[in-house]
Structure 1
């Protein structure tokens, strides 16, 4: 019974970990709700009236969500600095409440500096956000000099309560977050393997749905890997440990993705295209009504389930001969003599299972420490020796090159500060025409559409989502306000629920977040006895006006067009792709060791930035359907290129220690054409009049031909490298066509 209970708890924990990696959304929601609830309780004990309760609740929310540093010490410093900023902001707002013109001018100046200080990192961003939001809170509750002392006290209480909840009630250390992200990676890896088992059994009617699940699972696993990489520096004791974990995470991700491709190939009549795993809506390969019957298929199904068990089993339950037997059997597939009798494509799947099992063992050692070796077979011992040799070869030393930062109006924070200031000025003027009392809602909407956006298209999409969420939230607010009536604490309880939902859904859907915000504000209006249908309709009008002002300012004042930004990010991604490919092939050709892991991480980051920047182009409501399909296709091709580049880098990292991998100088020549093609595409993206074109020629796979007598020219590992190069070369040529780069075939 105890074992069954642990099993249920483990499955539940894994499911939660997979849905919310690192429990970051849950932590944000609990912290914010806890800080607000504690502030309300303390203020109620001191007999604060409803306006002070509302101000304290909103200040506690701001003091909690504005702090984004990862280290607890840095968070404490920023929170301490934020309190005087908040007190100064509410004081000036209260003193200027009767001087409309001066107050409006000061508000615009405050907005400018609140955005401008983002250049100083997380601390500058937090202090600017606190200054702006607390000024808004004072406008919301109608603060004036007569209530200023009580308001200052409420804000001070809110900041203290936020600190108590952050550091004592819901603490989150970098090491703890990283540990939960590791668990999320394991859970999502197990989910991906479960989907691969579904792929093994999928028939023609279900292959499209299963393939879509496979794409989602692969993308979710990659997302978690990037989250782990962003936390390694702060969450590990030293740089060497960080690099070890980074390598093992990358190995497991690449092995799992390759296993999915091998399964697709085994189920279809021809080798699966890597693009199939990255392009939404890509046609699924043709498959039969069921997998080929036979003993090999049954063994394959069994061993995929065993691999999933190997991934999921916690360290405390990993001891014993049963799990050791599974691990030894799966690692045995790395030896040719242990492969079952089957067609070559199915044997490749078994090899993929063996390589994935090795990656899982390396991940377990890196995350959980040394493992029990008493039941190791020779194949397992050899895999351990390879992993130990790789660990010993890790060089933690690294130097970061200084980056040239733009200056003046070219600096993103300065340009955004000017844009949002102009937009806010327009919003103030327009908002005053709509309402002399609620005009600040238009300013808030204008401010918010500029947060975390970098192009006119992103601001347009965010503004549309803001208006849609506000419209739906206003309807919900009408219903909730009618239900609550005059029950103050019931209203506050619902406010806490809506705030939790707002922070829990914020990373998933901006529309949902706006919905919960507006519904919450309807309840706050009820508490302040200012609720009416006309107020909520005015809220919608002010929000639409503010979003429109933000869009106008972004389009006319120092604009960054979506095409320009995506081209810049596309050029950066191509540059990073060249760095990884050249570095990996140079090392595989006998060149000196390079920092390939960090180069691969830079490539992933560049792709993530590009993917976010293309959202306005790929949004479902965009009228430019052909352009949307092109953007999706280009991003999918780049993700395909990145997969093969990461695979090359991972193989190159094994070169100094792996006994079956040897440098081959001929590889350097195989990649020259691909690198030239990437550079030609990058030149065309930077300048459409560039005269460079993409060249095609004999397939790189021709290097895999057999010499006379049937003797392979290369070993299996080198053959895999060349296949990655071939797929990379094909994807790069495919990338040239939608981007309008000329493709030339040389004369024979």
Structure 2
């Protein structure tokens, strides 16, 4: 009997460990996107190279086939099926043209190098056509490079073209085969990753509460988990946007995801406030019990969620929301009550979302009968009650206290120094943390900046070039410099410098971005040289082991490319060392030469980016901030259409567009916020701006989830207040897009209006919540005055000016939706 109990206990422990490992893998790679991508790249390269080698084709054909298979796999990762088929037709044409041109050129170094630079220019210029242009340009560049590297002659051209075709077919075939997946399965995997990330955040909240240290490393991880949760929600919504067959169900899923995200964010803010206020030991014990209960609803098995009685949980949420906290109650008590309320709201949001999904046929289709959850039992609430609980939950907001102006300087959520008077979400105490997002933001992907959105009438002619043309000129100049410099060091290994130039310009949008990427490539190469020499010496003379390690190194390089560019460079360098060992060409001098050539390529790219048609990171950041502020102004206009004029608009979708823009801004300003940036004052100002913008977006999401059609129709002052907010945001956008200090003609005054939620009058709870969120949005947006060097004034004079304008015509803030669209 004891043996059976022991076996059962060990089996249960093994299952829990396996579930924890699977959850961790799912959270690290939502939807297994990176895993599938890396597997496809490795398989395409190995199949193409192995098949051509076994067929007895010469080395140039094998190399061209392997290179095209690898590059086609990387270039098609974000393409649709139609784009993959179009690339399959255009890539062979570009590759064949480059191979033929290289084979027929006279073998004069100056001529070959000049044509190589021209090919580089055309290949980068083609990136203006997303996905297809990148794949075609990459194929043309790498084919010409392979032909020059192998000294291709016209006699070998036909067999090399055969290798090219094989490589393209293998890559496209695997992309179509492994890329075929039902949208339902993709969404389910991403949701499981979202659930796992939420579980990690709850675990981190428990650690913060146990250690009572929100400013330590546990708090830093909590910041990263919060951001990763938002990224997971955006990935799910991007996948849902592709499905137009179930708009009603998917819209509800989208709304519930935002509700969970906001509840989780409030939980993180509440635990920080609770720790800083110093909650009692008894409150901590009770809260940890509730957090363990919440963690139980985030497991892989949905049976517990299906059996939960949400009526009881909803009653707890209502009771905690309705229980007043005495103004003179101790701060620790108020903080503990706010945290308990945040926990209960996240419990309810999580259960409602998972239950809704697990009881939908389109979600559970494909499950076996044993895997399918049981239907709702009589213990659960009815559909009407569930809808009512959804409505009750939307728009909840814990009171986290007021900011303490006497607090010393602290750090923001990204670990950046922040003054004591900086606002934080909900007016709560200032959280601390480390660099936002860690290495996860270093995504190596082709990113075409798109249409140049700067005001062309105010730009010099050189700045009116499209981003792809500008970068094509820069890359061509950088490659020319790299060829000249690297051939002076090594006429045989010059190609490493050229490849570095080519790669560092992929996905960069400014010279600061390129400098950071070049530094990461050099760092990864340096570490890879050291590790590669050790590994190559240890496995020398064992070809099977070397081949297996090469496949592992190639897989890890492309699996980690969206996590850390330095790690990708590291594993590629190690793999290259193993390849040279397999070919009998490995020497430590060759590895050191690779490091030198990589440094030359990075320096050539930095010089070209700084001198040739430079795109200043500060200018790009200002324009992105202006775009985001204009988007916020449009969002307020849409909110007015819904709340005051009763129009049917999806404000959650509008707020998500702003979140994606904010993600673009974070990528652009990353070089400016780097710890090596010597301009500390500018770095601190920009850091402050980013944190306040994040706060504004947080309140925008709250407003979007709480908004109900015509909730504020007929309310006095709402139209004028929203017009004032829109005018403030428009002024901030105009100031943000100024080029330096040359243009001081902009109105640099923001108008402060009265609080709408504190005005007397009877309103229903929904309207009160909306007004509260609108006030918080307004207050947070006024916090942007300081980093933008603007001033604020009470709206008495501004109201008089608006009254004067109203006599001549309606202001933008007071017009109807139809008038504004006209």
TM-score normalised over the length of structure 1:
0.84
Correspondent of 2:782 among 729, 733, 748: 733
Structure 1 pair 78–367 and aligned structure 2 pair: CA distance change class (3 A):
farther
Structure 1 pair 586–346 and aligned structure 2 pair: CA distance change class (3 A):
farther
Structure 1 pair 174–414 and aligned structure 2 pair: CA distance change class (3 A):
farther
Hey, what does 1:254 align to over in structure 2?
A: 262
Tell me if structure 2 keeps the 8 A contact 1:18–1:185.
yes
* Alignment partners' CA distance in 2, 1:450 and 1:367: 43
Correspondent of 2:758 among 704, 712, 725: 704
* Alignment partners' CA distance in 2, 1:18 and 1:360: 17
Please state how far the C-alpha of 1:623 moved relative to its aligned partner: 1.9
Alignment of 1:227-246 (within 5 A): 227-234=235-242, 237=245, 239-240=247-248, 242-246=250-254
Tell me if structure 1 keeps the 8 A contact 2:84–2:172.
no
Alignment of 1:628-639 (within 5 A): 628-639=683-694
Hey, what does 2:726 align to over in structure 1?
A: 675
For 1:508, what is the secondary structure of its paired residue? coil
Hey, what does 1:310 align to over in structure 2?
A: 297
* Alignment partners' CA distance in 1, 2:267 and 2:554: 42
Hey, what does 1:36 align to over in structure 2?
A: 45
Hey, what does 2:308 align to over in structure 1?
A: 324
Please state how far the C-alpha of 1:635 moved relative to its aligned partner: 0.9
Correspondent of 1:360 among 330, 338, 350: 350
* Alignment partners' CA distance in 1, 2:377 and 2:337: 29
* Alignment partners' CA distance in 2, 1:101 and 1:516: 34
Stretch moving more, 621-630 or 377-386: 377-386
Tell me if structure 1 keeps the 8 A contact 2:103–2:154.
yes
Hey, what does 1:58 align to over in structure 2?
A: 67
Alignment of 1:429-468 (within 5 A): 429-468=484-523
For 1:743, what is the secondary structure of its paired residue? strand
Tell me if structure 1 keeps the 8 A contact 2:321–2:341.
no
Please state how far the C-alpha of 1:364 moved relative to its aligned partner: 2.7
Please state how far the C-alpha of 1:630 moved relative to its aligned partner: 2.3
* Alignment partners' CA distance in 2, 1:641 and 1:450: 33
Please state how far the C-alpha of 1:564 moved relative to its aligned partner: 0.9
Hey, what does 1:480 align to over in structure 2?
A: 535
Tell me if structure 2 keeps the 8 A contact 1:69–1:75.
no
Structure 1 pair 379–346 and aligned structure 2 pair: CA distance change class (3 A):
farther
Tell me if structure 2 keeps the 8 A contact 1:175–1:234.
no
Tell me if structure 1 keeps the 8 A contact 2:359–2:375.
no
* Alignment partners' CA distance in 1, 2:552 and 2:230: 32
Q: Deviations over 1:606-657 (max 9, x none)?
A: 11111101011111222223322222221111111100011101111x457x
Alignment of 1:489-528 (within 5 A): 489-528=544-583
* Alignment partners' CA distance in 2, 1:663 and 1:91: 72
* Alignment partners' CA distance in 2, 1:540 and 1:612: 27
For 2:615, what is the secondary structure of its paired residue? coil
Hey, what does 1:212 align to over in structure 2?
A: 220
Please state how far the C-alpha of 1:71 moved relative to its aligned partner: 3.1
Tell me if structure 1 keeps the 8 A contact 2:451–2:467.
no
Q: Deviations over 1:361-396 (max 9, x none)?
A: 4533564444833335559842335659999xxxxx
* Alignment partners' CA distance in 2, 1:62 and 1:165: 13
* Alignment partners' CA distance in 1, 2:224 and 2:23: 17
* Alignment partners' CA distance in 2, 1:481 and 1:147: 32
Correspondent of 1:128 among 124, 137, 144: 137
* Alignment partners' CA distance in 1, 2:774 and 2:308: 36
Structure 1 pair 390–355 and aligned structure 2 pair: CA distance change class (3 A):
closer
Alignment of 1:575-590 (within 5 A): 575-590=630-645
Tell me if structure 1 keeps the 8 A contact 2:349–2:393.
no
Stretch moving more, 684-693 or 504-513: 684-693
Correspondent of 1:742 among 791, 794, 803: 791
Structure 1 pair 588–256 and aligned structure 2 pair: CA distance change class (3 A):
farther
Structure 1 pair 488–96 and aligned structure 2 pair: CA distance change class (3 A):
farther
Hey, what does 1:424 align to over in structure 2?
A: 479
Please state how far the C-alpha of 1:746 moved relative to its aligned partner: 6.6
Tell me if structure 2 keeps the 8 A contact 1:319–1:372.
no
Tell me if structure 2 keeps the 8 A contact 1:586–1:668.
no
* Alignment partners' CA distance in 1, 2:386 and 2:286: 22
Hey, what does 2:288 align to over in structure 1?
A: 301
**Superposition CA RMSD, Å:** 3.5
Correspondent of 2:197 among 169, 181, 188: 188
Report whether the alignment pairs 1:110 with 2:119: yes
Q: Deviations over 1:431-452 (max 9, x none)?
A: 3333333222222111111111
- Structure 1 residue runs of 4 or more that deviate by more than 6 Å after TM superposition: 337-342, 388-391, 402-408
Tell me if structure 1 keeps the 8 A contact 2:725–2:778.
yes
Q: Deviations over 1:646-680 (max 9, x none)?
A: 1101111x457x9xx99855444444544333222
Structure 1 pair 481–200 and aligned structure 2 pair: CA distance change class (3 A):
closer
Tell me if structure 2 keeps the 8 A contact 1:177–1:235.
no
Structure 1 pair 481–197 and aligned structure 2 pair: CA distance change class (3 A):
closer
* Alignment partners' CA distance in 1, 2:614 and 2:789: 25
Structure 1 pair 714–135 and aligned structure 2 pair: CA distance change class (3 A):
same
Correspondent of 1:534 among 580, 589, 612: 589
Structure 1 pair 565–31 and aligned structure 2 pair: CA distance change class (3 A):
same
Hey, what does 1:597 align to over in structure 2?
A: 652
Structure 1 pair 524–560 and aligned structure 2 pair: CA distance change class (3 A):
same
Report whether the alignment pairs 1:86 with 2:95: yes
Please state how far the C-alpha of 1:349 moved relative to its aligned partner: 4.2
* Alignment partners' CA distance in 2, 1:519 and 1:234: 39
Specify which structure has the higher proportion of helix.
Answer: 1
Report whether the alignment pairs 1:375 with 2:378: yes
* Alignment partners' CA distance in 2, 1:140 and 1:521: 15
Structure 1 pair 178–72 and aligned structure 2 pair: CA distance change class (3 A):
farther
Stretch moving more, 577-586 or 16-25: 577-586
Structure 1 pair 303–642 and aligned structure 2 pair: CA distance change class (3 A):
same
* Alignment partners' CA distance in 2, 1:725 and 1:128: 48
Stretch moving more, 606-615 or 677-686: 677-686
* Alignment partners' CA distance in 2, 1:489 and 1:135: 31
Structure 1 pair 547–225 and aligned structure 2 pair: CA distance change class (3 A):
same
Tell me if structure 2 keeps the 8 A contact 1:193–1:304.
yes
Tell me if structure 2 keeps the 8 A contact 1:588–1:667.
no
For 1:335, what is the secondary structure of its paired residue? helix
Stretch moving more, 152-161 or 692-701: 692-701
For 1:189, what is the secondary structure of its paired residue? helix
Structure 1 gap ranges (5+): 269-285, 392-401
Please state how far the C-alpha of 1:683 moved relative to its aligned partner: 1.9
Structure 1 pair 73–389 and aligned structure 2 pair: CA distance change class (3 A):
farther
Tell me if structure 2 keeps the 8 A contact 1:188–1:221.
yes
For 1:594, what is the secondary structure of its paired residue? coil
Structure 1 pair 213–233 and aligned structure 2 pair: CA distance change class (3 A):
same
Tell me if structure 1 keeps the 8 A contact 2:38–2:555.
yes
* Alignment partners' CA distance in 1, 2:320 and 2:518: 61
Alignment of 1:545-584 (within 5 A): 545-584=600-639
Please state how far the C-alpha of 1:39 moved relative to its aligned partner: 2.7
For 2:241, what is the secondary structure of its paired residue? helix
Structure 2 gap ranges (5+): 1-7, 326-332, 361-373, 395-449, 798-822
